[in-house]
Chains A and B, each alone.
Chain A
Amino acid sequence: MSQPTATDDQTGTETGLLAGYTLRRITLYVVLLVMAVFYLVPIETGLMTSFTDPDSYTGQAPFLPPLEPLIPGSGTFSAQPWTNAFDILGQGLVNSLILVVPATVLSGLLGSMAAYGLTNVDWRGQVGIYMLFVAGIFIPYQAVLVPLTQFWYNVVPLRTTFVPVAEVLPFIHAYHWKLVALIVTHVAYGLPICTLLFRAHYKKLSDEMLEAARLDGASISRIYRRIVLPLSIPMFAVVFIYQFTQIWNDLLFALTIVQFGDAAVVTQDLVGLGVSQSGTNFPLRMAGALVAALPTLVVYVFFGDKFARGVAA
């Protein structure tokens, strides 16, 4: 399309402007469409593959829906990979849930309390403590792996104390001690960043409002419960989504602390899913990956609007 030349004719100029406008629009939409396809194709491919019967899976054009014999070479439709994935990952999913829910809630709550104590309550030496929190963010994961194993296996007698507990309480198994260790580790590691996020939020709370609450007779803990906590709900959404995703997707700490056995979480189970001597079962692997990703997706759907408000706050 050539640029319209300027004419004295009023209508000519108008159509010219309109033409330039639509050209920009078309370009914009084409670019957006290409980007959308580019980003969605891998997921679409994974989804299509996961519904393909492993025996008919050829690996050619995996993004096509499995509509054999309608489309030759695209594979036969089958829900088998999904049911298999659920069967194999079931235990891992349960373990991951046992891990991620308390770890997320605890790191959020403790982070919020720590941030309140470090930001809105005045006491000597809080800057030093705060510096320790900040330093915590920068400790590399790799540096703590060996000490972490030593700590949980040799220093803390968590395993031995857990055996009698598991015998008494229902639904508790002896191997759950590994998950408890993992929960504590994740809370400790997530605490600094949670504290930092909450602190940024609490700094914006009006000092006068908190002073008014003090004059109203509320103690430090009552001010937290009745004023600060209700006002940090948007921030909790941010922290919960962030921590949930972090902990759910973690493999490194799980490998270090759980290592193997009944307490293995879903990311660990996913590593070996569908891999055997005879080759890789791609439909099963894809179904497994999607199954493992499902909870994070659900969390985003449920907390997404609050997340957006928290980020904007």
Chain B
Amino acid sequence: MAELNLDGVTKVFGEGSGNEVLAVEDVNIDIDDGEFLVLVGPSGCGKSTTLRMVAGLESISSGEIRLDGRRINEQPPAARDIAMVFQSYALYPHMTVRQNMSFGLEESTDLDDDTIESTVTDAAAKLDITELLDRKPGELSGGQQQRVALGRAIVRDPAVFLMDEPLSNLDAKLRAGMRTELQRLQEDLDVTTVYVTHDQTEAMTMGDRIAVLNDGQLMQVGSPLDLYHRPANQFVAGFIGDPSMNFFSVTHEDGRLVGEGFAYPLSSETERDVGDVEDCVLGVRPEDVTLVGSETDAHDFQVDVDVVEPMGNENNVYLSFPDADPDVSGDGPGTFVATVGGMRQVERESTVVARIPEDAIHVFDAESGAALHNRVLDESVETQPTVN
């Protein structure tokens, strides 16, 4: 049980070789005791490197990592009171499950054999792997190996759990099950956890808070809904949510956002947020786009239906503005996605009217990517964006 602070943590690979790579830049995150923090970002964004610095497997180029207020930069991994679950599970293939789980206790504590044995048995019972204790990892399925890897972390009773994409080697069904189980387990144990994933669904469903990384930089830290509704920048807006947010490159002129084949009038409040920025990006989530009967509002647009993807519970409808450049196919500037109910019939290659309600739009500065205006939220869902 501990509080973990990352203070200006930076990692430069190949320092002094003239071939330096900045992998992680000035990351500040404060993780509360018992909190489940998810580090998420595309591959190569530095999330695993950050985790490995916390674990002590990578040195820290600058900045400080504190565990319960005490600096751990210089401590070897074994002295940090942490346990890590690896993507490949990293079990010892020549040892039985029991030996795998007791290895850490034998190496890092002075506990006698009986205590170790009972700790391992308890942890195995908690994870429902008691009957596997005398088998070797090679005889176990992926899901079972995953449990053993978790068990190996649990028996150590560490101050912090570190998990590096622990579910990504499992098939989709099993992953969903393990996701809930992991959450329940973390709640039971109430151990501070840092969880790395590239999967935004995992991040949204599991985390108390999410930290989004891109290119080694911390984009935003906040609760899942915070990030979803009040992204600090275009990257976070696009990364969180599936299907992802629609973006239109627009120019801001005369109180309107003019894009490829359409012009979107802004209210005075939105106008005030956008200010005098000219090159903007208009963003709207697919589920906020509605298909209406006829053009009655200034935010209704006549659009063509390109493709309909039925998902059962809903349909993803790919739309494009008729005046947009016809050469640009797919995710060109004039095309966007709307999610409509699964019972609703939408014919492909027909023309419909799409409404993009103004209280659902986000406007970003095209140059910096920073959010200028976020969607209007019902005040009952009050969320405070915490940038950095």
Q: How far is the CA of A206 from the CA of B78 in the complex (A)?
A: 19
- Picked from A212, A226, A230, the residue with its CB within 8 Å of the CB of B84 is A212
Query: Is A213 an interface residue when CB atoms closer than 8 A count as contact?
Result: yes
Query: Is A209 an interface residue when CB atoms closer than 8 A count as contact?
Result: yes
Q: Which stretch in A104-112, A215-223, A270-278 binds the other chain?
A: A215-223
Name the residue on B nearest A217 (C-beta).
B108
Near B by CB (< 8 A), chain A positions 240-270 give none
Chain B interface, >50% SS class: loop
**Chain A nearest Cβ from B275, distance in angstroms:** 49
Q: How far is the CA of A209 from the CA of B145 in the complex (A)?
A: 13
- Picked from B57, B76, B88, B104, the residue with its CB within 8 Å of the CB of A216 is B104
Q: How far is the CA of A59 from the CA of B107 in the complex (A)?
A: 68
**Chain A nearest Cβ from B53, distance in angstroms:** 13
Find chain A residues with CB under 8 A from B104 CB.
Answer: 215-217
- Picked from A211, A222, A226, the residue with its CB within 8 Å of the CB of B57 is A211
Cβ B103 vs Cβ A213 within 8 A = yes
Cβ B93 vs Cβ A231 within 8 A = yes
Q: How far is the CA of A215 from the CA of B103 in the complex (A)?
A: 11
Near A by CB (< 8 A), chain B positions 39-94 give 55-57, 76-78, 82-84, 86-88, 90-94
Find chain B residues with CB under 8 A from A227 CB.
Answer: 92, 94
- B-side interface residues, number (CB < 8 Å): 24
- A-side interface residues, number (CB < 8 Å): 17
**Chain A nearest Cβ from B222, distance in angstroms:** 29
- Picked from A206, A208, A211, A218, the residue with its CB within 8 Å of the CB of B107 is A218
Name the residue on B nearest A231 (C-beta).
B94
Query: Is A203 an interface residue when CB atoms closer than 8 A count as contact?
Result: no
Given the known interface contacts A212-B90, A218-B78, the answer about A226 and B83 at a Cβ–Cβ threshold of 8 Å is no
Q: How far is the CA of A211 from the CA of B55 in the complex (A)?
A: 10
**Chain B nearest Cβ from A63, distance in angstroms:** 49
Query: Is A309 an interface residue when CB atoms closer than 8 A count as contact?
Result: no
Cβ B103 vs Cβ A216 within 8 A = yes
Cβ A211 vs Cβ B94 within 8 A = no
Query: Is A24 an interface residue when CB atoms closer than 8 A count as contact?
Result: no
Name the residue on A nearest B55 (C-beta).
A215
Q: How far is the CA of A218 from the CA of B82 in the complex (A)?
A: 14
Find chain A residues with CB under 8 A from B92 CB.
Answer: 209, 212-213, 227
Cβ B87 vs Cβ A208 within 8 A = yes
Query: Is A214 an interface residue when CB atoms closer than 8 A count as contact?
Result: yes
Cβ A216 vs Cβ B86 within 8 A = no
Find chain B residues with CB under 8 A from A215 CB.
Answer: 55-57, 77-78, 82-84, 104
Given A216-B107, A231-B94, 19 more contacts at CB 8 Å? A206-B90, A208-B87, A208-B88, A208-B90, A211-B57, A212-B84, A212-B86, A212-B152, A213-B103, A215-B57, A215-B82, A215-B84, A216-B78, A216-B156, A217-B107, A217-B109, A222-B107, A227-B94, A230-B94
Q: Which are the 4 A-B pairs with shortest beta-carbon distances?
A: A217-B108, A216-B104, A208-B90, A217-B107
Residue numbers of A with Cβ under 8 A of B are 206, 208-209, 211-219, 222, 226-227, 230-231
Q: Could you show 10 A-B contacts with beta carbons less than 8 Å apart?
A: A206-B90, A209-B88, A209-B91, A211-B57, A211-B84, A211-B86, A213-B107, A214-B77, A215-B84, A216-B104
